[in-house]
């Protein structure tokens, strides 16, 4: 009897998901990157039970057509690249087409998305990577992804999660890092309906720093700028 067998597609997806989604903050990171790639100027992050129960991210980005929304949860489905040559000129945060499919594989996920040029949005319900319902819905332009019961079908993964305080800290850090790096985008982070972080789209990094760390800290920081033929660096 052969010892080597081909794994089922379901098991392959769960293994791949474990490589991308390590903890709730991984989901926050991947979904924020998708929102930024969709040219969003406003991103709202809502989490419950430190992200273990629920993570919802809403943006005002480009949105997707119903067809693209269904494709987006498939592995290696991406709008970022078309050919091998594109790998050498990537300007987006994501390109592999694995994040959303990995999240969908280990959670109960709902997605509402609408393009600015369409009258109606589309709504998908996905459980364990499978679409169980799809419908047309009234919605604002952009995309809202609601991820619930993370690792419900891979309970062994839950054992590796840390304490609530640690997982919440990772989620806060993820939002903070992207807010600091993208002052042109307004971020809000809620935990159990309590706002933990809020920035405005001011196109000014020092003002964003002040929103997060306080005015006094922002005033005391020194601006750093450097540029040569290969790299440009700026920060505080």
The residue among 204 and 82 whose pLDDT is bigger is 204
Average pLDDT, the chain: 89
pLDDT digits (tens, 9 = 90+) for 108-121: 999 999 999 999 99
pLDDT exceeds cutoff 60 at 79: no
CB 132 within 8 A of CB 125: yes
Query: Residue 44: CB partners within 8 Å, gap ≥ 6?
Result: 57, 58, 59, 187, 188, 190
CB 147 within 8 A of CB 58: no
SS3 of the chain: helix, strand, coil, percent, to 5: 35, 25, 40
Looking at residue 2, what is its pLDDT? 78
pLDDT exceeds cutoff 50 at 211: yes
pLDDT exceeds cutoff 90 at 144: yes
pLDDT exceeds cutoff 70 at 23: yes
Looking at residue 80, what is its pLDDT? 56
pLDDT digits (tens, 9 = 90+) for 147-177: 999 998 888 788 889 999 999 999 999 999 9
Looking at residue 81, what is its pLDDT? 47
Q: Minimum mean pLDDT among 20-24, 30-34, 198-202, 213-217: which range?
A: 20-24
121-125 average pLDDT score: 97
pLDDT digits (tens, 9 = 90+) for 186-210: 999 999 999 999 999 988 899 999 9
């Amino acid at each position: 009897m052969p010892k080597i067998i081909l794994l089922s597609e379901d098991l392959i997806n769960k293994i791949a998901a474990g490589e991308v989604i390590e903890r709730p903050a991984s989901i926050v990171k991947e979904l924020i990157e998708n929102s930024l790639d969709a040219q969003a100027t406003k991103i709202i992050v809502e989490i419950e039970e430190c992200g273990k129960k629920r993570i919802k991210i809403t943006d005002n980005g480009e949105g997707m057509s119903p067809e693209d929304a269904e494709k987006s949860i498939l592995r290696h489905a991406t709008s970022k690249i078309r050919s091998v040559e594109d790998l050498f000129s990537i300007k987006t945060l994501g390109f592999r087409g694995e994040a959303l499919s990995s999240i969908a594989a280990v959670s109960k996920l709902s997605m509402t998305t609408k393009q600015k040029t369409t009258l109606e949005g589309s709504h998908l319900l996905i459980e364990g990577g499978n679409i169980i319902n799809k419908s047309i819905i009234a919605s604002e332009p952009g995309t809202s992804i609601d991820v619930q019961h993370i690792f419900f079908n891979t309970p062994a993964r839950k054992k590796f999660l840390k304490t609530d305080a640690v997982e919440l800290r990772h989620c806060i850090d993820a939002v903070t890092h992207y807010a600091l790096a993208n002052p042109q985008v307004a971020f809000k982070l809620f935990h159990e309906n309590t706002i933990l972080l809020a920035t405005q789209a001011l196109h000014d990094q020092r003002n964003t720093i002040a929103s997060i760390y306080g005015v006094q800290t922002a005033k005391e920081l020194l601006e750093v700028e450097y540029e040569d033929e290969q790299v440009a660096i700026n920060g505080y």
